[in-house]
DNA sequence: AATTTATGTCAGCCATATTGACGTTTCTGC
DNA sequence: GCAGAAACGTCAATATGGCTGACATAAATT
């Protein structure tokens, strides 16, 4: 099988078919690692995303989480309730603003997130080995540049505050 | 906001929190480009995936598509029927094996796929500019190495047959 | 002739997303 | 202090895109 190159609009630059498809397959297998494990817990991808960000950014407000995940509070509500009921996450009332419910992972929650991140880390390590330390920085730069920076949420701000190592090329 | 590092299992290597999160946000925005455009057509991500692979690999069999997308034929059926009905895709009976329905994109279908790929290409080009040509090859190598290679489907075989350019570092 | 393969289809279920409406508590501005 | 806005929760209805199981047909294979 050979890949066809659909006619591009006249005068346009070449399309990045290769990267587009590599991203599709890479992301499919990347999230697949976690998906398989989550089945055993009766959780889905939505639960993972919530748990991940709450674990990584303790004290995240509900509104922050909505910004990051880009879903509605009704959608979040269902998933969050399950995680609260089953003891993976706890809520604490905000100190300054008592309307806020700050979210924290329990040890049980942290353990699950770490386990899932472990699976994904194995895949990432394997892939980074192929490109060396300098290549790893290039990959980070590339991924950062793929992300929209207008109107960043709190989590993205935190991520972009971390400087990338200077490229040594 | 600072990112917390949840306690890793004793003795384990560090987890790749940075890459894990960059992949999440990069992919979210990457598919977001197409999602917005698809709304105008009344299509979803599922339609895009089908159209994309049929356009890129003309003559794909239904069974091949099922392998690539990793969904059931019932799920595919609904989406595929819409695309056939609305004239984005046509079926032709296989020459050797008349049971097969080979799938081809119509000009209308190709145009839509090219438009969506154009949006995604703009984002990719912007990101690749940050890392230079050598960096671009590193990114390709990384993404390839993220993909499972056991039991590859026809499309993946085609992708992996294309050699990566030798790294010039 | 019997079986297997490739595909299509019917019926129903589940997870995750949506919009719209409404209620409570708490903070903020005047 | 009071009006209004903000942060959150929740009810109801709906859509999308997955799933399983069962069954049908045509064509290839044995």
Shared domain for B108 and B139, answered yes or no, is no
Shared domain for A64 and A113, answered yes or no, is yes
Shared domain for B151 and B87, answered yes or no, is no
Mean pLDDT confidence for B5-9: 62
Confidence of residue B2 (pLDDT cuts 50, 70, 90): confident
Shared domain for A105 and A162, answered yes or no, is no
Mean pLDDT confidence for B10-14: 69
Cα–Cα distance, B73 to B67 (Å, whole number): 10
- B1 part of a folded domain: no
Report the distance from CA of residue B75 to the C1' of nucleotide C13 in Å, as an integer. 13
Mean pLDDT confidence for A128-141: 96
The pLDDT score that the predictor gives to residue A115 is: 95
A142 contact residues in B (CB cutoff 8 A): 127-128, 130-131, 135-136, 139
- A148 part of a folded domain: yes
Confidence of residue B169 (pLDDT cuts 50, 70, 90): very low
A56 contact residues in B (CB cutoff 8 A): 3-4, 6, 17, 21
Exposed, middle or buried, B152 (CB in 10 Å: 0-12/13-18/19+)?
Answer: middle
For tokens 């003891």, the residue is A87
Cα–Cα distance, B166 to B169 (Å, whole number): 9
The pLDDT score that the predictor gives to residue A2 is: 75
Q: Which nucleotide is nearest to A50 (CA to C1')?
A: C16
A156 contact residues in B (CB cutoff 8 A): 25
Domain containing A44: what range?
39-130
Mean pLDDT confidence for B82-105: 95
Closest among B113, B104, B102, B103 to B43, alpha carbons compared: B113
- A23 part of a folded domain: no
Closest among A86, A53, A57, A84 to A70, alpha carbons compared: A53
pLDDT over 70 (residue A8): no
Shared domain for A142 and A72, answered yes or no, is no
Compute the count of residue pairs across chains A and B with CB atoms less than 8 Å apart.
Answer: 226
Which DSSP string do the residues of chain A spell out, in sequence order?
-----PPPPTTPPPP-HHHHHHHHHHHHHHHHHHHHHHHTTT--HHHHHHHHHHHHSTTEEHHHHHHHHT--HHHHHHHHHHHHHTTSEEEEE-SS-TT-EEEEE-HHHHHHHHHHHHHHHHHHHHHHHTTHHHHHHHHHHHHHHTS--SS--HHHHHHHHSPPPPP--
CA distance A38 to chain B (A): 17
Q: For chain B, what is the domain count? A: 2
pLDDT over 70 (residue A149): yes
CATH number at residue B114: 1.10.10.10
Closest among A46, A56, A27 to A155, alpha carbons compared: A56
- The two most distant CA atoms of chain B are separated, in Å, by 62
Return residues 47-106 of B near A (CB < 8 Å).
Answer: 49, 52, 55-58, 70, 105
Please state, rounded to an integer, the average pLDDT across all residues of chain B. 91
Calculate what percentage of chain B has a pLDDT beyond 70.
Answer: 93
Q: Decide if A148 touches B, using CB distance below 8 A.
A: yes
CA distance A81 to chain B (A): 22
The pLDDT score that the predictor gives to residue B15 is: 94
Cα–Cα distance, B88 to A6 (Å, whole number): 14
The pLDDT score that the predictor gives to residue A166 is: 62
Mean pLDDT confidence for B152-165: 88
pLDDT in tens, B68-83: 999 999 999 999 999 9
Q: Decide if A119 touches B, using CB distance below 8 A.
A: no
- B156 part of a folded domain: yes
- A83 part of a folded domain: yes
Calculate what percentage of chain B has a pLDDT beyond 90.
Answer: 83
pLDDT over 70 (residue B141): yes
The pLDDT score that the predictor gives to residue B96 is: 92
Closest among A130, A26, A145, A79 to B131, alpha carbons compared: A145
B16 contact residues in A (CB cutoff 8 A): 117, 120-121, 124-125
Closest among A136, A158, A132 to A147, alpha carbons compared: A158
CA distance B81 to chain A (A): 22
Q: Which nucleotide is nearest to B100 (CA to C1')?
A: C6
Shared domain for B32 and B114, answered yes or no, is yes
- A19 part of a folded domain: no
Mean pLDDT confidence for A135-140: 97
pLDDT over 80 (residue B8): no
Shared domain for A99 and A88, answered yes or no, is yes
Report the distance from CA of residue A84 to the C1' of nucleotide C28 in Å, as an integer. 31
- A1 part of a folded domain: no
110-149 of chain A touching strand C, CB 7 A cut-off:
none
CA distance B126 to chain A (A): 7
B85 touches strand C (CB under 7 A): no
Cβ of B25 within 8 Å of Cβ of A156? The answer is yes
Shared domain for B111 and B136, answered yes or no, is no
Shared domain for B40 and B80, answered yes or no, is yes
pLDDT in tens, A34-91: 999 999 898 999 999 999 999 999 999 999 999 999 999 999 999 999 999 999 999 9
pLDDT in tens, A85-117: 999 999 999 999 999 999 999 999 999 999 999
Confidence of residue A169 (pLDDT cuts 50, 70, 90): very low
Shared domain for B78 and B39, answered yes or no, is yes
Closest among B147, B153, B137 to A27, alpha carbons compared: B147
Confidence of residue B6 (pLDDT cuts 50, 70, 90): low
pLDDT over 60 (residue A11): no
Shared domain for B81 and B158, answered yes or no, is no
Q: A21-30, B10-19, B124-133, B153-162: which has the minimum mean pLDDT?
A: B10-19
A62 touches strand C (CB under 7 A): no
Shared domain for A126 and A166, answered yes or no, is no
- A3 part of a folded domain: no
Mean pLDDT confidence for B20-36: 95
């Amino acid at each position: 099988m050979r890949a066809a190159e659909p006619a591009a609009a006249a005068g346009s630059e070449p399309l990045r078919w290769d990267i587009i498809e590599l991203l599709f397959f890479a992301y499919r297998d990347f999230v697949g690692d976690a998906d398989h494990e989550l089945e055993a817990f009766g959780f889905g991808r939505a639960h993972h995303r919530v748990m991940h960000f709450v674990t990584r950014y303790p004290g995240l407000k509900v509104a922050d989480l909505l910004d990051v995940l880009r879903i509605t509070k009704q959608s979040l509500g269902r998933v969050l309730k399950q995680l609260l009921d089953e003891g993976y996450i706890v809520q604490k009332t905000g100190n300054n603003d008592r309307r806020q419910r700050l979210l924290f992972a329990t040890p049980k929650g942290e353990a699950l997130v770490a386990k899932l991140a472990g699976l994904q880390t194995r895949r990432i390590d394997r892939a980074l080995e192929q490109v060396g330390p300098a290549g790893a920085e290039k990959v980070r730069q590339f991924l950062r540049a793929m992300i929209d920076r207008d109107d960043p949420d709190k989590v993205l701000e935190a991520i972009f505050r971390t400087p990338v190592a200077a490229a040594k090329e």
